[in-house]
Amino acid sequence: MSTVDIIYYAFFLLSAIAIHVGLWRIFEKAGEAGWKAIVPFLNFWVLIQLVGKPKWWFIWVFVPIVNLVVPFLLLVEICKSFGQDGLGAQTLAMLFPFAYLPYLGFNDNIRYEGPAAELYRGVKKPAWREWADAIIFALIAATFIRTFFIEAYKIPTPSMERSMLVGDHLFVSKFHYGARVPITPLAFPLAHHTMPILNTKAYLDFVQLPYFRLPGLTEVERNDVVVFNFPEGDTVVVRQQESSYYDLVRMRDGRKFPDSEITVRPLDKKENYVKRCVAVAGDTLEIREGQIYINGEKGEDIPKSQMTYRVVSDNVLGPRFFEQFDMAYDPTKQRYQGNPLPGGHGYEYILTTYSSNAKAMEEVSFIKNVKMLTGFKVPGQEKGVIFPNAPQRYDWDIDNYGPIWIPKKGVTVPINRANLPLYKRVIKEYEGNDLRVEGTSIYINGESAESYTFKQDYYWMMGDNRHQSQDSRFWGFVPEDHIVGKPWFIWFSRDLNSDKGWFASIRWERIMQFIH
């Protein structure tokens, strides 16, 4: 963990402590037991009663998007309940609760005056106006914090398992790498690219601002886990949004989809992805038999980076075995059922796990053999789904890849027909040049070009679940202007495949884990 990370985490921990200490004193001033302030859910239940909101407000805790706004509304109501009804006080409470809540709690001159709903019942403003003002103010504050400081994110796919699991809910730091000023400013608050329920666009794209990033605490470094906009997400087939449009076109032998079936998204409204940065600008990356090499040297091993193994066992492996070796057992999947070997010589399993687990399996008495499998050919690779989508020249697979150089801002490289597939999308799409090829000649912005100077840095992102991840091996470089932020910690996690019920499926051991 870097010094910046330590300072950042320490600041968050101290802020969280300050907020709860402030709430403890606030509860005591209002006649409630202070310890209730540090109990999740109970503190929310007490707060809505202290400010005079109906008890049914408690359901907002479980409603996505709404549960991001309601805490800000409650901060406004807390201020009113303590006689602090000025715009300045409410703004400070929403933007700096770690300082303002202790101020309310420890200032002997500020007293609890009663539920805000009762205190302001006779005010001339109609109820709808009170609600409108509070909601608009809360939305502005929540949007400001989400844009420039911290944003919630949910892990949707297993590409980062077992480092991060499907069902993990993260907080993503925006100011670690510097907050990106919105490129598409006309957007619905707290929605990314699609309106909930309505399934319509959540933004207007006729106004596009130039890319600008505020100063950050650090730069993207090797092995950082990073949230970024999906580079190939500019064009999306509406009914197949989980797939790359460009891969779908390649699968159709170059036939494009009708305009009525696709939607085009601006840079900051592309889908958010989370992967690990394994190479930074200026690095040369190569993968040999599944092992990453950076600039000719073996890359750092990620403790829970997963590969595929062939496991031969004398016995049928049951749920207890998979639980022992930290694998999410799913009896519906073929790999957990095993295939009997001819002649009764045991059972063969194709399992996904990390290297220390594989070594531990070798020590089990009934395990006969454990071997890592590499050299996977992805279905359809003959049509070029492996970047740079030119199999006749670059016959790579996901375990044997490169070497490939990662573009760096200000560096000039020769450009020719041989290496153009590697940098074509960078030159044309990410850096906005007109690119044309005529015979053996390459033209950039109408002029003959034999070299190109890159305008920004690029990164190489890969999932820790190496054989079940759509990453840079499929769509190439991630531009610096696509970086969203750094995952900070897991604030909630639930096993979505569990049949134990909602509450019982919560992964308590993962809550409040920091991400490295």
- Please tell me the distance from the alpha carbon of residue 435 to that of residue 142, in angstroms, as a whole number: 42
- Token readout for 46 is 């007490």
- Token readout for 480 is 């610096």
Dump the DSSP string for 196-264. TTT-SBSB--S--PPP-B---SS---TT-EEEEE-TTTTEEEGGGTTS-HHHHHHHTTTPPPPGGGEEE
- Token readout for 207 is 């106004």
Total Cβ atoms within 10 A of residue 455: 17
**HEC string for 19-82:** HHHHHHHHHHHCCCCHHHHHCCCHHHHHHHHHCCCCHHHHHHHHCCCHHHHHHHHHHHHHHHHC
Q: Over its length of 516 residues, how does the chain's per-residue pLDDT go in tens digits?
A: 566 667 767 877 888 899 999 999 999 999 999 999 988 889 899 999 998 888 888 887 777 666 777 888 888 889 889 988 887 888 888 888 899 999 999 999 999 998 887 777 665 556 665 666 667 767 777 788 888 888 889 988 889 988 898 899 999 999 899 999 999 988 887 788 888 778 888 888 888 999 999 998 899 999 999 999 999 999 999 888 888 888 888 888 888 898 888 999 999 999 999 999 999 999 999 999 999 999 999 999 888 899 999 999 998 888 888 888 888 766 666 667 788 888 778 899 989 899 899 999 999 999 999 999 988 776 655 566 899 988 888 989 999 999 999 999 999 999 999 999 999 999 999 999 999 999 889 999 999 999 999 999 999 999 999 998 999 999 999 999 999 999 988 988 998 877 778 888 888 889 888 887
- Please tell me the distance from the alpha carbon of residue 232 to that of residue 169, in angstroms, as a whole number: 24
Non-local CB neighbours of 288 within 8 Å, separated by 6+ positions: 400
- Token readout for 418 is 């041989």
Give the per-residue pLDDT at 162.
83
- Please tell me the distance from the alpha carbon of residue 276 to that of residue 462, in angstroms, as a whole number: 5
Give the per-residue pLDDT at 382.
59
Give the per-residue pLDDT at 238.
87
Total Cβ atoms within 10 A of residue 148: 16
Sort 476 into a burial class: Cβ within 10 Å, 0-12 / 13-18 / 19+. Answer: buried
- Token readout for 312 is 């031969």
User: Is the CA virtual torsion 388, 391, 396, 398 positive or negative?
Assistant: positive
Instruction: Look up the pTM and report it.
Output: 0.80
Dump the DSSP string for 289-329. TTEEEETTEEPPPPTT-EEEEEEEESS---HHHHHHTT---
- Please tell me the distance from the alpha carbon of residue 168 to that of residue 153, in angstroms, as a whole number: 9
CB 26 within 8 A of CB 36: no
CB 457 within 8 A of CB 277: no
Domain boundaries, the chain: 3-148, 306-373
